[in-house]
């Protein structure tokens, strides 16, 4: 079974600064997908960024980028130029391939607070 | 707004009771997923339906059941409720299962007293 671990229960950052959230995972699969989802106080889960394991290039979405280290099974999220609206809980998630399509395994989450 | 609608948003009930949570997926999405979010268990996958058929099962209790109807809306039935069933229940939908991009509803907050 896959496991996803987020070792930082809480993080804080000043507005306009950069913060990195950590995530490690464990799997025996070779093809899989990794995600970061954001859950703001409104509680709705929102996809932030997605990485396919067979792609070596790290995914980037505007101010959000990942550092994907397949051998180390590490998948960190970097948020640049942090904004107050980035305050939320962030979940790292894993999805295998084949019969696991659609089944996301989530980490425990990291609460990020952006201070003005 | 993700386009996924869940009702009710909040529900308070007593132990031993039965409740039904409803989900309308985004227009065109054939896959529907149910997730449970609780303080002690975190976010857990419960069950997935694709075009009316059960596709995958996760950590769903036998007291819980779900179905997806021909119009693609889905219902999650929770019976013989226990205090530990108190949680936020999310429905999500996707058009393509391989992307892993799920569109989540706002969740139904269930409180069992």
Share of chain A above pLDDT 70, in %: 97
pLDDT at residue B97, rounded to an integer: 65
Q: Which residue has the higher pLDDT, B99 or B36?
A: B36
Q: Which residues contact A84 (CB under 8 A, 6 or more apart)?
A: A15, A114, A116
pLDDT at residue A31, rounded to an integer: 87
DSSP A1-44: --EEE---SEEEEETT--EEE--EEE-S-SSEEEEEEEE-TT--
pLDDT at residue B70, rounded to an integer: 95
Work out the mean pLDDT of chain A and round it to a whole number.
93
Beta bridge partners of B92: B33, B104
Q: Hey, CA dihedral for A81, A85, A87, A88, is it positive or negative?
A: negative
pLDDT at residue A43, rounded to an integer: 86
Indicate if the pLDDT at residue B16 is higher than 90. yes
Instruction: Specify the pairing of strand B10-13 against strand B31-38.
Output: unpaired
Q: What is the rounded CA–CA span in Å between residue A4 and residue B75?
A: 28
Q: What is the rounded CA–CA span in Å between residue A53 and residue A73?
A: 10
Pair A18, A83: CB distance under 8 Å: no
CA–CA distances in Å: residue B75 to residues A75, A97, A109, B59: 34, 26, 27, 17
Residues in chain B with CB shorter than 8 Å from the CB of A90 are none
Residue range B44-59: average pLDDT?
A: 91
Q: Do A102 and B101 touch (CB under 8 A)?
A: no
pLDDT at residue B88, rounded to an integer: 96
Indicate if the pLDDT at residue A42 is higher than 90. no
User: Taking an 8 Å Cβ-Cβ cutoff, which residues of chain B contact chain A?
Assistant: 2, 31, 33, 35, 42-45, 48, 55-56, 58, 88, 90, 92, 94, 97-102, 104-107
A111 touches chain B (CB under 8 A): no
Q: What is the rounded CA–CA span in Å between residue B24 and residue B5?
A: 5
Give the nearest partner residue to B56 out of A47, A103, A109, using CB atoms: A103
Q: Which residue of B23, B100, B106, B108 to mutate against A (max A Cβ within 10 Å)?
A: B100
Instruction: Specify the pairing of strand B10-13 against strand B108-112.
Output: parallel
- What does the pLDDT look like over A48-98, one tens digit per residue? 999 999 888 999 999 999 999 999 999 999 999 999 999 999 999 999 876
pLDDT at residue A101, rounded to an integer: 66
Pair A31, A2: CB distance under 8 Å: no
Of the candidates B60, B67, B77, the residue with the CA atom closest to the CA atom of residue B20: B77
Residues in chain B with CB shorter than 8 Å from the CB of A25 are none
Beta bridge partners of A91: A37
pLDDT at residue B40, rounded to an integer: 84
Beta bridge partners of A94: A34, A105
Pair B76, B88: CB distance under 8 Å: no
Of the candidates B8, B43, B32, the residue with the CA atom closest to the CA atom of residue B22: B8
Of A78-87, B40-49, B56-65, B95-104, the poorest mean pLDDT is in: B95-104
Task: Please give the residue of chain A at the shortest CA–CA distance from B106.
Answer: A44
- What does the pLDDT look like over B79-100, one tens digit per residue? 999 999 999 999 999 887 667 7
Q: What is the rounded CA–CA span in Å between residue A71 and residue B92?
A: 31
Indicate if the pLDDT at residue A1 is higher than 80. no
Residue range B62-78: average pLDDT?
A: 97
């Amino acid at each position: 079974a896959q496991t996803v671990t987020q070792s930082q229960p809480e993080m804080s950052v000043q507005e306009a600064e950069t913060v990195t959230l950590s995530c490690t995972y464990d799997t025996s699969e070779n093809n899989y997908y990794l995600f970061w989802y954001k859950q703001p106080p409104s509680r709705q889960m929102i996809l932030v960024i997605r990485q396919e394991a067979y792609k070596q290039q790290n995914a980037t979405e505007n101010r959000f980028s990942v550092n994907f280290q397949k051998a180390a099974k590490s998948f960190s999220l970097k948020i640049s130029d942090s904004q107050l609206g980035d305050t939320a809980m962030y979940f790292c998630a894993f999805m295998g391939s084949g019969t696991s399509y659609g089944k996301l395994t989530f980490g425990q989450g990291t609460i990020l607070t952006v201070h003005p | 707004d993700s386009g996924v609608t869940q009702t009710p948003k909040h529900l308070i009930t007593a132990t031993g009771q039965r409740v039904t949570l409803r989900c309308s997926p985004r227009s065109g999405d054939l896959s529907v997923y149910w997730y449970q979010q609780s303080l002690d268990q975190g976010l857990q996958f419960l069950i997935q339906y694709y075009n009316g058929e059960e596709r995958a099962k996760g950590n769903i209790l036998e007291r819980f059941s779900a179905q997806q109807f021909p119009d693609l809306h889905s219902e999650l039935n929770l019976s013989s409720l226990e205090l530990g069933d108190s949680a936020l229940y999310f429905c999500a939908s996707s058009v393509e299962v391989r992307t892993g991009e799920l569109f989540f509803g706002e969740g139904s907050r269930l409180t069992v007293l």
